[in-house]
Chains A and B, each alone.
Chain A
Amino acid sequence: AAGVIQSPRHLIKEKRETATLKCYPIPRHDTVYWYQQGPGQDPQFLISFYEKMQSDKGSIPDRFSAQQFSDYHSELNMSSLELGDSALYFCASSPQDRGPYEQYFGPGTRLTVT
């Protein structure tokens, strides 16, 4: 079965640089969620999109922005990177016809800021 695809899987950036993370949801999934998991931490919700519109916003820094495109893929843009942004970034998707509770996670993008 198709899964959520995230790219790149690993990313190394320097402080003050920008990064773009991409997420391709499972086919026919119209909702995308982004989570950030710091070292030794539990995942924290950042932002979500339903039908290309932002639906919920969590603890996402103002330096980050995200959007969902017409093909339902989503991109998380991170600017002025800080050392504390080093984390595993998960994207999850869910199908509308099974409600929001069936969230399927991608493998994550590991971002390292040096």
Chain B
Amino acid sequence: AQTVTQSQPEMSVQEAETVTLSCTYDTSESDYYLFWYKQPPSRQMILVIRQEAYKQQNATENRFSVNFQKAAKSFSLKISDSQLGDAAMYFCAYMNNNAGNMLTFGGGTRLMVKP
């Protein structure tokens, strides 16, 4: 079974600074997808960024970028120029088409942004 691990229960960052959230996963598959979801206090799950495992290039979405290390099974999220609105719970998630299209989530990292 696939597992996703987020080793940082909480992180804090100063506004306008950069922060990196860590995620590791375990799988024997070679073709899969990885995601970062943001869950603000409203509890809405918002897709931040996704990475296809077959792509070597790291995904980027505005201030959000990932460092995907396939051999190390590592998928970290970097948030640049942090804003107060970035404060939320961040979940790393894995999906493998061969094992069904469900998302397997990590335990989450709570990000606090200090003004």
Contact = CB atoms under 8 A, between A and B. Distances in A.
B9 to A, nearest CB: 10
Contact of A45 (B45, B102, B106): B102
Contacts of B42: 107
Main secondary structure of the interface of A (DSSP, over half): strand
A24 B8 CA distance: 35
Nearest to B42: A107
Contacts of A55: 100-101
A41 B43 CA distance: 12
B25 interface: no
Contacts of B103: 33, 35, 43, 45, 103
A45 B97 contact: no
B91 interface: yes
B30 interface: no
Interface residues of A, number: 25
Interface string B86-115: 000001000101001111111110000000
7 contacts: A43-B103, A45-B102, A58-B102, A90-B45, A92-B45, A100-B101, A105-B46
Given A48-B102, A88-B43, 18 more contacts: A43-B91, A55-B101, A56-B102, A58-B102, A90-B45, A100-B95, A101-B33, A101-B35, A101-B95, A102-B50, A103-B47, A103-B103, A104-B47, A105-B37, A105-B46, A105-B47, A108-B44, A110-B43
Interface of A: 31, 33, 35, 41-45, 48, 55-56, 58, 88, 90, 92, 94, 100-105, 107-108, 110
